[in-house]
Amino acid sequence: MESETVTNWEPKILAFLCNWCSYAGADLAGTSRIQYPPNIRVIRVPCSGRINPLFILKALQGGMDGVLVSGCHPGDCHFLSGNYIGRRKSATLKRFLEYLGVEENRVQFSWVSAAEGVKFSQVIQEVTEDVKKLGPLRNFVKK
Amino acid sequence: MIQEKLREKAKELLSKKEVDLIIGFSEWTLPLRTTPVFIRTPEGTESLAWNSFCENNLATYLHKFGRFKVGIVVKGCDARSVVALSLEKRFPNHRPLLIGVPCQRMVDRKKVKKAVKGEILQAVEQGDLLVVKGEDFEVTLKRDDFLYSVCRSCTHRTPNQADFLIGDPVEEFPLDEAHPDVSEFEGKTPEERWGSFEKEISRCIRCYACREACPMCYCTECFVDSTRPKWIEKSLSPSDLAFYHIVRAYHQTGRCSGCGACERACPMDIRLTHLTQKLNQEVKDLYGFETGIQPEVPPPLSTFHPEDEQGFIK
């Protein structure tokens, strides 16, 4: 932690991946040898609807610089409507955090299916670049 | 007079045994205040009061009386809280009977106290005027200058969902534009917003009065009290304070009636209502939902529509 100076700083990003789509998508990216930045730490969740907004806040408080929540495309949910419920929670939480002054790209959401290894790698690249631009999270993190 | 009609109705309900208990307001020893009363006998209804200081949201007390048939005195915002609670199936046995009173907007006693010098010993309402007396002064104030800010922008004063309406419905119009605090806050840059939020909540002493006063905060174990998982430390660090206030407000998404009980309960005078008002605005904007207006529409976060907004998702 202490060795992280501004020059060689790399963002830490927590990725919540749904078991049925995005996690399998990440798996596909791996087995297909598709490269993506090593900045993400993956937590596998049963569904993107499982994401409690507390998870996201806790991650930011605990020192993560960005959070990604990824689930199945609309209509593809293993539990039929979990990602739709998750979408409403995400939309309200995202707007609320922005209102309070947490930068827009700190918390991001994506749909990645089990067949989208390439998209998974693109999403991780984009998120990593976005968070890199923002720099380390200073406001909310517990010191 | 509304107060007399209210007492009459309460008396009738109690003597006909339609309810076991009436929850209402009563004048007590302090000026500019009323106290919640719990009345079980028809004679007791004489202590019921109605004035511009009936600010509490009595729906908070309903959780304690689930076994009884309760009649409750409600304003527009309180009625909406009860409807929201009933949507969350909080009344499996008896849905409370709502004795609705159209609200004249409530007076903020802190504003009145600031306007006069010395201790206020008596306050009497005379129409639109408020006569405030102390040991060596007597001032007449215009009532409308001393209203709660949430009351000023309120557009749901008549409790339309009430079982009995005492008095006539009032015309719905806001005195101020909706949520002036929210638009003021939104005008700042993200950095300023976080700074001002953090500064405001830095006074918080984590007494949880905002949670206790809120009718929608009824969890048997709140996330702040939970030790397994331990979501939040019991500290007053800026990070933990922010965590608490973000989540407390966020848990009201699509459930808050905007009564302002949280802010009134705060001993440190922290501005809290703009957080929940922002969430109310969002929910209305995204899903066209307003708390407690339509008793048959499910709360927005427990349902979905395939065409919901998803522009923010990659």
To the nearest whole percent, how much of chain B has pLDDT over 90?
75
Q: What does pLDDT average to over chain B?
A: 92
Cβ separation B246–A57 shorter than 8 A: yes
> Which residue of B194, B253, B313 is in closest CB contact with A101?
B194
Separation between Cα atoms, residue B223 and residue B229, nearest integer Å: 9
* Among candidate residues B148, B129, B152, B147, the one with its CA nearest the CA of residue B139: B129
Instruction: Name the phi and psi angles at B242, rounded to 5.
Output: -65, -45
Mutate to test the interface with B, among A99, A110, A111 (most CBs of B within 10 A): A99
Is the model's pLDDT at B75 over the cut of 90? yes
Is the model's pLDDT at A3 over the cut of 60? no
Residue A102 in contact with partner chain B when CB distance is under 8 A: yes
Task: Return the pLDDT at A2.
Answer: 53
Closest-CA residue of B relative to A98 is B190
Which of A13-22, B51-60, B175-184 has the lowest average pLDDT?
Answer: B175-184
Q: For residue A119, give the H/E element and its range.
A: helix A117-134
Domain boundaries, chain B: 2-108+147-299, 109-146
> Which residue of A58, A75, A109 is in closest CB contact with B313?
A109
Contact between residue A131 and residue A106 where contact means Cβ atoms under 8 Å apart: yes
Lookup result for tokens 């209210």 = B6
Say which amino acid occupies B227: T
For residue A75, CA distances in Å to A60, A83, A113, B302 come to 30, 8, 11, 17
Residues of A (5-64) whose Cβ lies below 8 Å from B = 53-54, 57-58, 61
Separation between Cα atoms, residue A62 and residue B31, nearest integer Å: 47
Task: Return the pLDDT at A5.
Answer: 56
Cβ separation B314–A96 shorter than 8 A: no
Task: Return the pLDDT at A81.
Answer: 92
Q: What pLDDT, in 10s, does the model give residues B191-209?
A: 999 999 999 999 999 999 9
Task: Return the pLDDT at B37.
Answer: 95
Task: Return the pLDDT at A62.
Answer: 93
For residue B301, CA distances in Å to A56, B27, B149, B224 come to 17, 39, 27, 21
Is the model's pLDDT at B119 over the cut of 60? yes
Separation between Cα atoms, residue B230 and residue B310, nearest integer Å: 32
Domain boundaries, chain A: 13-133
Cβ separation A54–B190 shorter than 8 A: no
Separation between Cα atoms, residue B79 and residue B71, nearest integer Å: 12
pLDDT band at B117 (very low <50, low <70, confident <90, very high): confident
Q: What pLDDT, in 10s, does the model give residues B224-258?
A: 999 999 999 989 999 999 999 999 999 999 999 99
Q: For residue B151, give the H/E element and its range.
A: helix B149-152
pLDDT band at B127 (very low <50, low <70, confident <90, very high): confident
Chain B residue numbers with beta carbons less than 8 Å from the beta carbon of A87 are 304, 308, 310, 313
Mutate to test the interface with B, among A58, A100, A125, A131 (most CBs of B within 10 A): A100
DSSP B266-285: -TT----HHHHHHHHHHHHH
Is the model's pLDDT at B76 over the cut of 80? yes
In total, the C-beta contacts within 8 angstroms joining chain A to chain B are 108
Residue B272 in contact with partner chain A when CB distance is under 8 A: no
CATH number of A13-133: 3.40.50
Task: Return the pLDDT at A4.
Answer: 54
Q: What pLDDT, in 10s, does the model give residues B133-170?
A: 998 889 999 999 999 989 998 999 999 889 999 988 88
Residue B313 in contact with partner chain A when CB distance is under 8 A: yes
- 3-state SS assignment for residue A16: strand
Contact between residue B239 and residue B197 where contact means Cβ atoms under 8 Å apart: no
Task: Return the pLDDT at B218.
Answer: 93
Compute the nearest-CA separation of B183 from chain A (Å): 10
To the nearest whole percent, how much of chain A has pLDDT over 90?
87
Compute the nearest-CA separation of B26 from chain A (Å): 38
Cβ separation A92–B223 shorter than 8 A: no
To the nearest whole percent, how much of chain B has pLDDT over 70?
100
